[in-house]
């Protein structure tokens, strides 16, 4: 069955770089897009970016200067790197598969369990 | 960016009640809208796409409607397991954006 699992450090120092990995199973990264979405504690969801099946990417303009999404299809892994972290980047970070049905796409049908990242010294 | 406004922020209902959550987009999103349910400590669950199409396995007490900038999610005959926060999300344009969420509590 389809599964996504995020992994990475729970604590990051301010100004440092966050590196997260999303390991997927049950589908091919060359066939589906994978998105990153984050949720600050008690707040709403924020879309960060996507890497599509063809390897192209799109980013939220608010984060674009700090964010990079890449992948290793042989390992079924998607990577998020974001630099210059600040306390406001403290959030649960989710990876989620892009729903694609008959030309309709852009919602997220399977989500990982999320990884809590705290930015603090 | 398209701003999504959800109302109410929270609501309380009895088992068996009917409730409606609204989602307003800052511009026409042509029904490119999904709804999610998120229970405490869990990741969101995808309920509905294209404003009114239920995913397989989602109970029929959930329904969606709307067009243009105004959309709604209705739960008819609330069950205990429906206590959760509900989010709308537009996929008409980038960046994808979410509503602020509606927390449904049971009395």
Q: Give the model's confidence band at B73: pLDDT under 50 very low, under 70 low, under 90 confident, else very high.
A: very high
Cβ neighbour number for residue B24 with a 10 Å cutoff? 17
Chain-wide mean pLDDT for chain A?
A: 96
Cβ <8 Å between A106 and B55: no
Alpha carbon distances (Å) from B97 to A6, A48, B57: 21, 10, 25
Cβ <8 Å between A114 and B32: no
pLDDT computed for residue A66 by the predictor: 97
Given a cut of 90, whether residue A42 has pLDDT beyond it is no
pLDDT computed for residue B90 by the predictor: 98
pLDDT computed for residue A31 by the predictor: 95
Cβ neighbour number for residue B40 with a 10 Å cutoff? 8
B8-66 confidence digits (pLDDT tens): 999 999 999 999 999 999 999 999 999 999 999 999 999 999 999 999 999 999 999 99
Given a cut of 90, whether residue A101 has pLDDT beyond it is no
Write a three-state SS string for chain B: CCCEEEECCEEEECCCCEEEEEEEECCCCCCCEEEEEECCCCCCEEEEECCCEECCCCCCCEEEEEECCEEEEEEECCCHHHCEEEEEEECCCCCCEECCCEEEEEC
Tokens, residue A43: 């707040």
The whole-number average pLDDT for the span A16-35 is 97
Determine the distance in angstroms separating the CA of B77 from the nearest CA of chain A, rounded to an integer: 25
Cβ <8 Å between B34 and A99: yes
pLDDT computed for residue A103 by the predictor: 83
Determine the distance in angstroms separating the CA of B97 from the nearest CA of chain A, rounded to an integer: 6
The whole-number average pLDDT for the span A14-30 is 97
Collect all residues from B whose CB is shorter than 8 A from any CB in A: 1, 32, 34, 36, 42-46, 49-50, 55, 87, 89, 91-92, 94-101
pLDDT computed for residue B96 by the predictor: 97
């Amino acid at each position: 069955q389809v599964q996504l699992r995020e992994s990475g450090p729970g604590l990051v120092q301010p100004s440092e770089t966050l590196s997260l990995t999303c390991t997927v199973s049950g589908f091919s990264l060359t066939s589906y897009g994978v998105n990153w979405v984050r949720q600050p504690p008690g707040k709403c969801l924020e879309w960060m970016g996507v890497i599509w099946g063809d390897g192209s990417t799109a980013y939220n303009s608010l984060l674009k200067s700090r964010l990079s999404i890449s992948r290793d299809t042989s390992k079924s892994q998607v990577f998020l790197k974001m630099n210059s972290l600040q306390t406001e980047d403290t959030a649960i970070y989710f990876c989620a598969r892009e729903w694609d049905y008959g030309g309709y796409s852009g919602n997220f049908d399977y989500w990982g369990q999320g990884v809590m990242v705290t930015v603090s010294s | 960016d398209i701003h999504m406004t959800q109302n109410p922020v929270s609501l309380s209902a009895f088992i068996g009640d009917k409730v409606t959550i609204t989602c307003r987009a800052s511009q026409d999103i042509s029904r490119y809208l999904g709804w999610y349910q998120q229970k405490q400590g869990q990741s969101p669950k995808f309920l509905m796409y294209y404003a009114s199409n239920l995913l397989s396995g989602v109970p029929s007490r959930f329904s969606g409607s709307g067009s243009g900038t105004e959309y709604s999610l209705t739960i008819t005959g609330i069950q205990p397991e429906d206590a959760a926060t509900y989010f709308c999300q537009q996929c008409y344009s980038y960046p994808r954006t979410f509503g602020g969420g509606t927390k449904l509590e049971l009395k």
